[in-house]
Amino acid sequence: MYALIKREIQDHIAYFIGAAVFSVVFIIISFSLISRYDSRNPPVFLIGLGVPAATIVIFGICAMGATQMYLDRTRKISALLSTLAVSRNRILLARIITGILTILILLVPLTIAAGILVRIFTPPVPMFTGMVFEISITVYLMAFACYCIGLQTGWNSNPLTPSLGALFLTCIFIPLILIKGFGVHIVVILVLFIVASLLRTWHTFMKTSL
Amino acid sequence: MIEDEQMNDSVIVIEDLVKYFDGRCVLDGINLKVPRGCIYGLLGRNGSGKTTIIRILLGLEPPTRGRTFLLDADSTELSAELHGRIGYVAEGHNLIQNYRVGRLIKLCKDLSLQWNDEFFNHLIETFRLPTDRKVKELSIGMRAQLNLALAMAIDPELLIFDDPTLGLDTVARRQFLELAIDLIQQQGRTILFCSHILGDVERIADRIGILAAGKLVVDCPLEELKERVKKLRIIFPESAPPNLYLTEIINQQNQAREMVITVANWNKQKQTALEIFKPSSCIEIPMSLEDMFIECTKPNPEYIES
């Protein structure tokens, strides 16, 4: 298993480096901007910075999943690996673990930075800590959901279905977040989506010819 | 009882295998058993389904119908451990093209249950394979050699070669065959060998299967095949009859008084049936494996199974 994960990391090292660099750059920019402004007005520019950053993150993570599967399909990597002492289950599991590692490399520093910023700029009320926790969980799950969409898109010769799935998810999400904010309902929807998406990816990967 | 034991000792079992690609029947009810220690030569023309059989056996391709077993396990449920006991040289040499040879070797070594370093290094030196070059920069022959070395290094119980000598020059092909013969001498090892080079198959195989029109038209030991398939030139006093009413005629050509037939399972009964037509002469034409292969892969051959 370790060899499979190592292979995935080496093959997609650009995404790991990209995630780490993005994370560091985002933190540096956030802190440098905050230090210039009055501590009472930080959220305004953070939102301005956060929207393009989130877009990059979503596309980047989705692209990683898609690249992993697409390169496997075109270079027939699994066709070789599955003739060695490796099962298809393990190949897919190693791939997903690699995706999770990338998400963690990207988001863990950002979460820590967000926690520090909240401590600096908000009064010590549990509500704010809870809010950071809820938003973080949602962002982690959203990132993983995007990765799952990428996995499906990369493996399918017709990426229309996963793209429609992604569009459907976005259409549900944005109004939900705007109307009800972050919370358990979003988490439940995301978890259900991730489970369904992973099951579909697993089924397709196990059944198609390599 | 003896039959049961033979069944249990079969390393490869194929039961009523059917495979369709886009509505086209590629394999039409294949049944095959390869006993332990056998070197089985699977022959067939391009597109006859040899590679498809191998891919189904290895679980790389799902069958449309029927079941296949490798080392007593269903091909659709082969465990990683079982894969580790099978060496596979794929047609076209399925290697990760953008990897350096050294990296690919390390990956295969890390993912193997056992790895014979001494033997592998001997092969790499024999083939003079550069480990610092990318796989895609290697010639087809070198890729074949690398694939072969990787398959051999795991010390496999079962070796599956899908046209392994494709792209190899004469010297490399000879090296490969000698290596295969070395392996054959190690007891209990089974080899499934597909090739277009019939001379290679004739040299190492002890059982032959010929695929034609989606069916396994020949499945018997090589020596038996040579004994059982006869090509006869028959001269009749008058024009040759259109039909001899013999079963298992693989091929028949009539020209005036002369008839050339290729017939399977030639025996005294068939000899007697032929003599009813009172031929002037009947001469056996010697056949090589290549001749037999050509005859058997012509349209509508009948089964020559033992």
Exposure of B73 by Cβ count < 10 A (0-12 exposed, 13-18 middle, 19+ buried)?
middle
The CA-atom distances, in angstroms, between A100 and each of A147, B155, B165 are 9, 36, 42
Q: How far apart are the first and last CA of chain A?
A: 20
Give the pLDDT confidence score for residue B3 in this predicted structure.
45
- Binned at pLDDT 50, 70 and 90, residue B18 comes out as very high
pLDDT at B117 > cutoff 50? yes
Q: What is the mean pLDDT of residues B288-306?
A: 67
pLDDT at A94 > cutoff 90? yes
Provide the H-helix boundaries in A123-183.
126-155, 160-180
pLDDT at A80 > cutoff 70? yes
Smallest Cβ distance to B98: which of A75, A80, A84? Answer: A75
Encoding tokens for residue B124? 């790499």
Please answer yes or no on whether B84 and A90 come within 8 Å at the CB atom: no
Give the residue on A whose Cα is nearest the Cα of B21. A209
Please answer yes or no on whether B112 and A84 come within 8 Å at the CB atom: yes
Q: Which residues of B14-34 are buried (b: 16+ CB within 10 A; e: fewer)?
A: beebebeeeeeebbbebebbb
Contacts of B245 (CB under 8 A, 6+ apart): B273
Encoding tokens for residue A209? 């010819």
Smallest Cβ distance to A76: which of B78, B81, B94? Answer: B94
Residues of B in contact with A84 (CB under 8 A): 83-84, 108, 111-112, 154
Angle at which helices A2-11 and B101-110 cross, to 10°: 150
Q: How far apart are CA A151 and CA A165, in angstroms?
A: 13
Interface mutation target, options A1, A9, A83, A210, chain B, most CBs of B under 10 Å:
A83
CB atoms within 10 A of CB A164: 10
CA torsion sign for B223, B228, B230, B236 is positive
Q: How far apart are CA B31 and CA B16, in angstroms?
A: 5
Encoding tokens for residue B254? 């009539």
Query: Which among A67, A78, A80 has a CA at the least distance from the CA of A14?
Result: A67
Distance from the Cα of B268 to chain A's closest Cα (Å) equals 48
Contacts of B191 (CB under 8 A, 6+ apart): B38, B39, B40, B158, B159, B160, B161, B180, B183, B184, B204
Residues of B in contact with A4 (CB under 8 A): 111
Encoding tokens for residue B123? 């092969």
| DSSP-derived 3-state class of residue B159 | strand
Which strand (E) or helix (H) includes residue B3?
helix B2-8
pLDDT at A92 > cutoff 80? yes
| DSSP-derived 3-state class of residue B104 | helix
Interface mutation target, options A9, A13, A80, A89, chain B, most CBs of B under 10 Å:
A80
Q: What is the mean pLDDT of residues B58-81?
A: 88
Q: How far apart are the first and last CA of chain B?
A: 19
Whole-number percent of chain A with pLDDT over 70: 86
Encoding tokens for residue B297? 């892969």
Residue owning tokens 């590692």: A101
Encoding tokens for residue B68? 């296949």
Point out the least confidently predicted range of A159-168, A180-189, B220-229: A159-168
Phi, psi of B302 (to 5 degrees): -95, 170
Q: What is the mean pLDDT of residues A37-53?
A: 65
Please give the single-letter amino acid code of residue A125. Answer: V
Point out the least confidently predicted range of A110-124, B93-107, B256-270, B282-296: A110-124
- Binned at pLDDT 50, 70 and 90, residue B294 comes out as confident
Give the pLDDT confidence score for residue B187 in this predicted structure.
61
Smallest Cβ distance to A207: which of B55, B58, B62? Answer: B62
Could you tell me if B82 and A87 are in contact, meaning their C-beta atoms sit under 8 angstroms apart?
A: no
Could you tell me if A5 and A97 are in contact, meaning their C-beta atoms sit under 8 angstroms apart?
A: yes
pLDDT at B48 > cutoff 90? no
Please answer yes or no on whether B111 and A3 come within 8 Å at the CB atom: yes
The CA-atom distances, in angstroms, between B56 and each of A184, B68, B208 are 46, 7, 19
Query: B215-221 and B207-212 as β-strands: parallel, antiparallel, unpaired?
Result: antiparallel
If you ran DSSP here, which 8-state letter would residue B303 be given?
A: P
Could you tell me if B27 and B17 are in contact, meaning their C-beta atoms sit under 8 angstroms apart?
A: yes
Q: How far apart are CA A132 and CA A134, in angstroms?
A: 6
Residues of A in contact with B156 (CB under 8 A): none
Contacts of A126 (CB under 8 A, 6+ apart): none
Phi, psi of A39 (to 5 degrees): -65, -10
Which strand (E) or helix (H) includes residue B254?
strand B249-255
Residue owning tokens 């995301």: A190
pTM: 0.78
CB atoms within 10 A of CB A163: 14
Exposure of B167 by Cβ count < 10 A (0-12 exposed, 13-18 middle, 19+ buried)?
middle
